[in-house]
Structure 1
C-alpha cells in the first residue's frame, strides 16, 4: 500500500504500525510523488491519502487517480484529514474514496478500514481479471491459430476431458488452501467461474447458495461476488420454478464460451511436450 502525507512523523508512524501487522508500505510526500510511484508500481492496491498537502493536495490526487489509474486497475483510496468537514467527506466519496478517517487515527479504526479496502480490492481485482479474460478470449478468437496451437490441439478437447481438467483445477485450488491456510491467495470470482463452468459442461443449473460455497469465503461475501458477476452479465440468475425460496445460476453463454476457450488453451499449454533444446 502507499501512504501519502507531507508530514514525515505521520508517515513513519503509519508505516511502523502497518508493517507490524503485515502490510508492505511505500510512502510519498505529496500528490506528485504519489502519482509517480503509482505509475512505477502497478501492484499497489490501497492508497492512504492526507487531504492537506502542498502542490497537489489530497482531493486533487483523488481526481487524478480516478482519471489515470482506477479505470484500468484495482485501486482503493482511503482519505485521512486532521480537519474533517461534512463537505470534504462528501467530495472525497464522490471522487472515489472508499473511506474517510479523522486524525488522530485510532489503530482499530485504521485496521477496520484497511480490511474493508482489502476486500474491495479483491473484488475489483477479480472483476478486472474477468474482463481481461473476456477481452483476451475475443482477441484470440479473431486471429488465426498458430502452428504451435494446432500441434498442441488447442480447442480440440472432448467435453469429458475438459470436465476432468476443470475438476482437477478445483481440487488443486482446494489443496493449496489446505496447505497454506491463508486468504491471501483467495480469488472468489475465479472459484465461482470454475464451479459454474464445470456445471455448464455437465448440463446442470446450480443453486446460488451452492456455487457460493465453492468460493471458499463467508457466504455473505460469496453472494456479493455472485451479485457482481450477475450485474456484469457474466452469470445469469433466476428464481427456481420448483422452489421459490432459492435462485439458480448459470454462466452466460458468451462467458461460458470464453471459459471453455481459455481452459482448452491452458490445458494445451500444460500438456504440451517440452521444446527441444537449442
Structure 2
C-alpha cells in the first residue's frame, strides 16, 4: 500500500498558480536555525531568509515573507526594541509571526508583541514547531481551505493539542531531519470558524448579563483552585486537564483581589505546558473572554485579565451555584 501523500498542492486561480508561502527564519543558534528551515521546507514553505536574530538590529530591510519564525530564548534591551519593530512590520504586512522563547523571557517577549497576534512557543520540540507551522497554513489567506461545517476553533484547538501530545509520546519529530524523498507540505488544515459560540446564540449576547453580579470571595476561589491541584497528588494530572476553566478561575480570583496577572503566572495556573497554555490564552482572547492590559508604568510589560462580559459570566455562575448549595469544582 503506497504511503499517504499529505502534500499541500498549489491552487490554481485562473491562469495563476499559488506559490508556496514564503518564510523567513531568525535564530542565533546555527543548529536551531537549520532545524527550523528543515521543518518549514517539510511543511511546504519557501525559505527567503535564514539569519541570526541580531541581524534585526541593523538598519537593513530584511525580507519577511508570509510567515516569520523567530527563536529568542533570552531578551536584552536592544533585542526588545528589535522585537517590537518586527511585531509592527509583521502586523503591517499582514504576515504571521511564530516566536519560540523560554519561560524566563516570556513576559518580556509577550510585552513586545501587541500587534501581530503571534504564536508563542516555550522551548518547543520540533513536533510543536510543526504544529505551529500547520496552524499558520490554516490561517494563511488565499489558500482556498474548506470551511468547517460543524466544528469551531475549540475543536481545532483540542485536535491540535491531541496531535502534539501523540507526536511527543511516539517520539514525534525529534531528531528526524527532513529527507529529500518526502512529499512537500506536511499539513492540510481546514480553516476555523469563530470560537466558543453555542449553536443558535448571537455572538453579541455571549456572557452578557443585564446587571453586574457581586464579586465572589477570592479566598473561596483560591481554595477551589488548591483542591483542583491536589488531585494530581493521587492521580495522573492529565486526567483532569481543563486549562480554560483553570485560567478563568485564576483570573476571577485575581479580579476579586484587584491583582494583575502576568502571562507567565497564568501559564503556570493553567496546569498544562506553557505552549499549550498560550494557545488557550490566544483562543480565549479571540473569543472575547480575555484581554491584554498594558502596564501603565512600564510599556514593556502587559498583563492578562477577564473581559467584563467574561467576569459577569463567572460571577453569575458562582451566584447560581452558591444559591443551589452545590460544591464548585
TM over 0.5: no
Larger helix proportion of the pair: 1
Q: Which has the higher contact order (CA 8 A, sep 6+)?
A: 2
* TM-score of Structure 1 vs Structure 2, range by shorter chain: 0.3 to 0.5
TM-score (norm 1): 0.45
